[in-house]
Amino acid sequence: MRIIQITDTHLSPLKPHFNRNWQPLVAWIEEQKPDLIIHTGDVSVDGADIEADLEFCRSCLDELSAPTLVLPGNHDIGHLPESHQPANSERLARWNRHFGADRWAQEHGGWTLIGLNSLIIGSGEAAEEEQFEWLEGELANSSGKPVAVFAHKPLFVDSPDEGDSGYWGIRPAARQRLYDLFAAHNVKLHASGHLHRAWSCDGVGFNCIWAPAAAFIVGPMERDLPGDRILGAAIHDLGETVQSEIVHLEELTPYVIDDVVHEVYPKHTGDGQPVAAEASQ
């Protein structure tokens, strides 16, 4: 089974700075003839506050000919409670209207595929616990079959046992809870986006992939992160094992968010988060 993972497209009818990368991406996907496409979030520029962005992105994804599963990113539904756009019930309902559930589990080719809403993990709110209980049930139902997990945010940024990386990765207590569940239920892959970097690792008991963004790269306005500053996608071939490939797509224009951040993501106030961090990811 071949899965194409795309992420961080940042599409918008109102701020079309990165829209030109969509059609080349679609053309490449069609050439690959995937069995399934998974978009791991930040579909939109600002669907968290602008419904027109979500409507536009839904119409874009409808152009894809293969079955497509979608997960929310922070620019689609918001983030943790202290952020300037918390992932509240109103934002989640708006996402659900256009894209369906913010988490899902499906069986494909002898594998269990699970999509998580990573924006509520570490929030300490009821929605987080509900998702954990749902995840435990879905993993139990996998009955030992290999599992691939998809999410917007990576589990960690610099080190598997790092402290709280805040905006970037999953908070330590929630991360350890995921590690324990994954170890108990034959999870073979965790694939994410969010960082606008391409990177892979297999040193935590399962493969970790950060798929490259499709919209833009981040220049020196942010701290350096692991991985490569490229645009592209990831291919996951699931069989007896998982084989993942990060693909650099030269067809995509390497826009740099630093050059247009003042237009695309104007400065906000209220949560103490550096503007670049919220804007670039």
Which among 80, 176, 179, 73 is positioned nearest to 124, based on CA atoms? 80
Q: Is residue 79 part of a domain?
A: yes
Domain count within the chain: 1
Q: Is residue 279 part of a domain?
A: no
Position 262 scores a pLDDT of: 93
Provide the phi-psi class of 94: left if phi over 0, else alpha when psi is between -120 and 50, else beta: alpha
Distance separating the N- and C-terminal Cα atoms of the chain: 30
Position 269 scores a pLDDT of: 38
Position 220 scores a pLDDT of: 85
Position 266 scores a pLDDT of: 81
247-280 pLDDT, tens digit each: 999 999 999 999 999 999 886 533 334 344 444 4
3-state DSSP assignment of residue 38: strand
Give the total residue count for the chain: 281
Q: Is residue 26 part of a domain?
A: yes
Q: Which domain holds residue 23?
A: 2-264
Q: In the chain, which residues have pLDDT < 50? A: 269-281
Position 271 scores a pLDDT of: 38
pTM of this structure: 0.95
Q: Cα separations (Å) of 160 from 142, 146, 204, 280? A: 25, 21, 7, 23
Q: Is residue 74 part of a domain?
A: yes
Position 274 scores a pLDDT of: 37
Q: Is residue 152 part of a domain?
A: yes
Q: Is residue 269 part of a domain?
A: no
Q: Is residue 122 part of a domain?
A: yes
C-alpha to C-alpha distance for 238 and 187, rounded to whole angstroms: 12
The CATH number covering residue 183 comes to 3.60.21.10
Q: Is residue 280 part of a domain?
A: no
